[in-house]
């Protein structure tokens, strides 16, 4: 009995960990567009300004009939192909005769319908700044946060010709603009009450980004015990997002709406990027079930939770700061940017790639990442249970604190482990881009 109650407490720990880390966790790598840029900027085929910008409504109006059939087939496929899928309520099925096609489409794919989904692209480091950029407010209802503060967006006009690299890179950050916020029935939104995802399984709904966590984290390799005792952890949706948005991209290319083909492919790529972060592919990296039980027995559950949450936050801050610095200097030959841009052989994207390839590798990489954080980051940030990383002032001085307390060798060691994560990102992102390119060509529209 004691063992059983210990187990119950263990799962409470896991859920508490996810609740506690809700603010940091839902981001993973921030500014996905800049992260993808070193990769797509060196693919000449993606740099030709060959894609004609088109409003969502125009795409929907032109293809409404086909889209109705296509989305119905996609829903049927998701129900049989995906574990723990939350079926789309019949009332939300896309109808070609809907009065408001745009609203009908956004609800049928169950994204937040209050965003503008406007025509835009992110300004990249090589761009000359333009006089009238787009305000963040016109793209998102969220506050900017540290990672989006320094990003500039520019409007695109209908009929503009734009390079696919800009469209797919920009769109790969879009799911962090609020697309997956407020979708659960207890999130206090009118649409969340109708979307069929039930009560939010984990993540803190009171935090601004909290409710997107189950869409941006995917626990596809939980052990049997965890699956059995904590089935709520199975209710994660990045695999569904990738398959739906990937299929929509294919549909858009096939019907010669290339702009939306690239943009939907970018949406899918966001979740691929998130799952390359080990703290997004499993609840407690670096802590196996026995460790966790031992922690429970010693009554140190809250402490373990705090450490996992802090380490999760630290690696994301470290990654963002290192990446931004190298990008600012256009240091394309720096090891970190080379890791993203590397043209090493990559897998061919298939049905199993997301879960059996990418997500499994991220789970496997979690232990070494956690150990590196413990070894090379000042103890206060990653091993002090009384410290709260999220919201602390230490984020901006993280790199100098590491240098001061742990020496330059620690930066080198952290870069090395970060490069492993970035190489994984690069491999799977490139596989996705290759698949998208192949589909684009296959349609023969150009």
**Residues of this chain that bind Zn ion (CB under 5 A):** 176, 216, 274
Token pair 């840029």 is found at: 37
CB of 122: closest distance to Zn ion in angstroms?
Answer: 15
CB of 280: closest distance to Zn ion in angstroms?
Answer: 8
Residue 124 vs 179, nearer CB to Zn ion: 179
DSSP single-letter state for residue 150: T
Q: Are 55 and 159 contacting, i.e. CB atoms less than 8 angstroms apart?
A: no
Q: How many CB atoms lie within 10 A of CB 444?
A: 9
Element spanning 122, H or E: strand 120-122
What's the full length of the chain, in residues? Answer: 446
CB of 176: closest distance to Zn ion in angstroms?
Answer: 5
Q: Across-strand partners of 30?
A: none
CB of 323: closest distance to Zn ion in angstroms?
Answer: 15
Category of 136 on φ-ψ map: left (φ > 0), alpha (ψ -120 to 50) or beta: alpha
CB of 175: closest distance to Zn ion in angstroms?
Answer: 6
CB of 403: closest distance to Zn ion in angstroms?
Answer: 29
CA distance 250 to 262: 9
Residue 88 vs 216, nearer CB to Zn ion: 216
Q: Are 282 and 28 contacting, i.e. CB atoms less than 8 angstroms apart?
A: no
Report residue 153: phi and psi, to 5°: -120, 145
CA distance 289 to 274: 24
CB of 213: closest distance to Zn ion in angstroms?
Answer: 9
Residue 262 vs 279, nearer CB to Zn ion: 279
Residue 216 vs 263, nearer CB to Zn ion: 216
Residue nearest to Zn ion (CB): 216
CB of 270: closest distance to Zn ion in angstroms?
Answer: 6
Query: Exposed/middle/buried for 95, CB within 10 Å: 0-12, 13-18, 19+?
Result: middle
Contacts of 231 (CB under 8 A, 6+ apart): 84
CB of 209: closest distance to Zn ion in angstroms?
Answer: 9
Residue 269 vs 418, nearer CB to Zn ion: 269
Angle at 269 between CA 280 and CA 310, to 5 degrees: 25
Residue 212 vs 295, nearer CB to Zn ion: 212
Q: Is 154 helix (H, G, I), strand (E, B) or coil?
A: strand
Q: Is 407 helix (H, G, I), strand (E, B) or coil?
A: coil
Residue 119 vs 272, nearer CB to Zn ion: 272
Angle at 263 between CA 258 and CA 264, to 5 degrees: 100
Q: Are 265 and 350 contacting, i.e. CB atoms less than 8 angstroms apart?
A: no
CB of 30: closest distance to Zn ion in angstroms?
Answer: 9
Residue 216 vs 322, nearer CB to Zn ion: 216
CA distance 307 to 284: 10
CA distance 406 to 415: 14
């Amino acid at each position: 009995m004691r063992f059983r109650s210990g187990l119950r407490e263990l799962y409470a720990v896991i859920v508490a960990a996810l609740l506690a880390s809700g603010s940091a966790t839902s981001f993973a790598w921030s500014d996905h567009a800049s992260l993808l840029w070193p990769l797509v900027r060196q693919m000449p085929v993606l740099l030709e300004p060959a894609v004609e910008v088109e409003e969502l409504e125009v795409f929907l109006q032109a293809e409404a009939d086909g889209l109705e059939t296509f989305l119905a087939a996609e829903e049927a496929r998701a129900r049989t192909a995906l574990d723990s899928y939350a079926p789309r309520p019949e009332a939300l099925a896309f109808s070609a005769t809907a009065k408001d096609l745009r609203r009908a489409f956004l609800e049928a794919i169950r994204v937040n319908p209050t965003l503008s989904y406007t025509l835009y692209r992110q300004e990249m480091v090589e761009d000359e700044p333009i006089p009238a950029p787009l305000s963040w407010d016109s793209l998102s209802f969220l506050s900017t946060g540290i990672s989006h503060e320094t990003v500039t967006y520019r409007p695109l006009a209908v009929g503009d010709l734009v390079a696919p690299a800009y469209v797919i890179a920009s769109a790969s950050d879009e799911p962090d603009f609020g697309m997956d916020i407020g979708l659960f029935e207890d999130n206090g939104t009118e649409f969340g009450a109708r979307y069929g995802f039930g009560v939010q399984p984990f993540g803190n709904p009171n935090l601004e980004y909290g409710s997107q966590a189950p869409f941006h984290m995917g626990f596809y390799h939980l052990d049997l015990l965890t699956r059995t005792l904590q089935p709520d952890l199975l209710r994660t949706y990045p695999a569904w997002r990738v398959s739906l948005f990937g299929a929509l991209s294919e549909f858009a290319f096939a019907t010669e709406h290339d702009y939306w083909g690239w943009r939907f492919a970018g949406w899918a790529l966001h979740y691929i990027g998130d799952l390359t972060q080990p703290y997004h592919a499993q609840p407690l990296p670096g802590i196996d079930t026995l460790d966790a039980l031992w922690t429970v027995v010693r009554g140190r559950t809250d402490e373990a939770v705090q450490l996992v949450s802090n380490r999760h936050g630290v690696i994301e801050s470290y990654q963002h700061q290192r990446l931004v610095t190298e990008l600012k200097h256009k240091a394309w030959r720096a090891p970190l940017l080379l890791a993203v841009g590397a043209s090493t052989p990559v897998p061919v994207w298939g049905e199993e790639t997301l879960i059996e390839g990418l997500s499994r590798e991220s789970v496997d990489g979690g232990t070494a990442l956690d150990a590196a954080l413990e070894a090379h980051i000042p103890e206060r940030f990653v091993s002090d249970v009384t410290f709260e990383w999220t919201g602390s002032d230490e984020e901006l001085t993280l790199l100098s604190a590491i240098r001061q307390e742990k020496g330059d060798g620690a930066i080198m060691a952290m870069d090395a482990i970060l490069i492993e994560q970035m190489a994984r990102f690069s491999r799977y992102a490139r596989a996705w881009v290759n698949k998208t390119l192949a589909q684009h060509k296959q349609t023969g529209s150009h």
